[in-house]
Structure 1
């Protein structure tokens, strides 16, 4: 039996996570969630990895929760049910805070938890054929653990609309909402991803990690004296680093033709 998730690192330092349950539209169950969490942890800790790509085999990116699994967990004791849900919450949290840039390549439908994965990534590119939906309320459940990432990506009002209506929306609407950052033809998805990875590859790994953490730290906060002091301290630390000094010096030499 093929692994439900495949994880690898290429020669360019790109960690690749690929959902591999195409026969059930890459739906989550307990095993896939655990595998995803382990992959995220391993890639985050590996110094070779400069960026992480999440993609999927088959026609669908991810159909959300495996319904048979959710039915079983709904019948489990309360403590077991909560503990199981917390696993996905922690995995999404680990993905969102991974100290490496993350890129979702969405080739097909992403529903429920699949939308959560896309929203938790830093950058998302979708094929024109991709579709998105928060269909939980049709099943009498709610998009709970994915909600912080969906709201952060598209805003509370748009998230409420799609969570309440449970209607699918296309890649163009996902682009308009901010859930994805680029829409391309299906045959161009990998090349669009490669261009994004090339741009990321030119940057300082340490600076990208700090920039990612900085954006989370300042989001939604008032611009007051405390935030000004915090951000001033952050840039002061960054520009004093040897890597920053070397990169700035090299840039000035190139600009001057040296």
Structure 2
């Protein structure tokens, strides 16, 4: 089977790439499993100072793979693994991000994107809700902005994503944006990085402890609903859903 992720290392930084461009890097059960394994290995490797999560193709992540979606518990496990990892995780985005992919960004400690990137919470348009991904998103992102984009599914650009806290920074050249970030991480003591990350993620992990079970149940219920079946079918058939007025 073709690998769904790519991995490389440079000066203590592990680069993990979503590498399923044919599916726009949609989060299938297999891709979620591969990412969870990769980050688990990075967490145990003393030679890894930090991890960069990036992608191939023009889409960072299109959200859940509607033909082979991950179990909500598996997605929760992946997001928590990113948050709990004792190494900083940096997202590098040069393409579009939709739905579940935005949960990946929020679970990273630092996230940067090029100005060509675009973002949207498209869940409501296929009859579901951004349930599980809210675990890292709600503690880290502007609540008024989330209300708008969660409820409407509108697209927004990288500048707006940075303004609302979804991104750390946006720029014409994302690698130029990240160069001082990676330099700073390489100059930092590993133990100090781990403890500093622990301080920064405490509120996010509180949300996981408090809400993960309820949001997992909500996700499972919505994905099995009649509206979700209609919304997903309409999406795959490239037509408007029956509720459009």
**Against the structure 1 CA distance between its residues 203 and 31, is the aligned structure 2 distance closer, same or farther, given a 3 Å change threshold?**
same
Matched, 1:177 2:176: no
Please list every run of 5 or more consecutive structure 2 residues that lacks an aligned counterpart in the other structure. Answer: 207-245
1:153 and 1:25 mapped to 2: Cα distance?
Answer: 26
Cα RMSD between the aligned structures? 1.8
1:98 counterpart residue number? 85
Which of 110, 124, 127 does residue 137 from structure 1 map onto?
Answer: 124
Structure 1 segments, 4+ long, off by >4 Å, are: 218-221
Give the superposition deviation at 1:209.
Answer: 0.6
Matched, 1:215 2:200: yes
| CA-to-aligned-CA distance 1:151-185 (integer Å, 9 cap, x gap) | 12213332222111111110010011011111111
2:205 and 2:135 mapped to 1: Cα distance?
Answer: 13
| CA-to-aligned-CA distance 1:171-222 (integer Å, 9 cap, x gap) | 010011011111111xx2223223210111111111111011112336799x
1:24 and 1:8 mapped to 2: Cα distance?
Answer: 22
Higher RCO by CA contacts (8 Å cutoff, separation 6 or greater): 2
SS in 2 for 1:194: helix
1:95 and 1:106 mapped to 2: Cα distance?
Answer: 16
| CA-to-aligned-CA distance 1:83-113 (integer Å, 9 cap, x gap) | x210011110010111111110010111111
1:134 and 1:159 mapped to 2: Cα distance?
Answer: 9
1:6 counterpart residue number? 6
Please list every run of 5 or more consecutive structure 1 residues that lacks an aligned counterpart in the other structure. Answer: 74-83, 222-258
1:109 counterpart residue number? 96
Matched, 1:153 2:140: yes
SS in 1 for 2:8: strand
2:122 and 2:139 mapped to 1: Cα distance?
Answer: 19
1:200 counterpart residue number? 185
